Amino acid sequence: MTRWLIPLLLIASWTVTVAILLSPEPVAGFAIPHDVVPKMEQGHDGAQRHEHTLLLGWMFGVLLIAAFGGLIGWGSGTPWGSLMGGLLITTTVIAEGVFAAMCWSYHRQLANPDATPFFGSFPAGTAWQLYGMGSIPFLFVGIYVVFFRRQIVTDRTSAEFPHLSKSSD
């Protein structure tokens, strides 16, 4: 199953991308003259513009995050049962949870804009994006740095490199 995971995730991502591209444009969702600046156009409220694509956007993000975590594990050749594999799975699940919370917060904000909760000076969805999704890459980079010499470029692969570079001449 592991061998087919990444191609299946990529096919699912392409399918969702096509669904997004073929989704209908919202009626009166854009090109509305601005009240104060006449040369500027604006969109209608966010619910009308985004509600029909929110589920597809969430599905695309979930698939992209899963493919990213899977590709890191696949590219490093790490077994999923190892410490690095477990950390990659955990970090991917954390990223999926933060992304889902961000999408859910945005959905709630679209449903009732007047009751939008704020975290500091940002609406909840923006706070999840800034603080949550903005810090997730540091977890992936930390895993990569810690396990670089142990699993990614080992002594065995370093010893094989001069042979590979001589054979390419």
pLDDT for the residue 48: 67
Burial of 49 (0-12, 13-18, 19+ CB in 10 A): middle
Residue 110: band (very low, low, confident or very high) from pLDDT cuts 50, 70, 90: confident
Q: Predicted confidence band at 88 (pLDDT cuts at 50, 70, 90)?
A: very high
162 vs 12, higher pLDDT:
12
Q: Where are the beta strands (DSSP E) in 10-151?
A: 32-33, 41-42, 118-119, 122-123
* Percent of the chain with pLDDT strictly greater than 90: 38
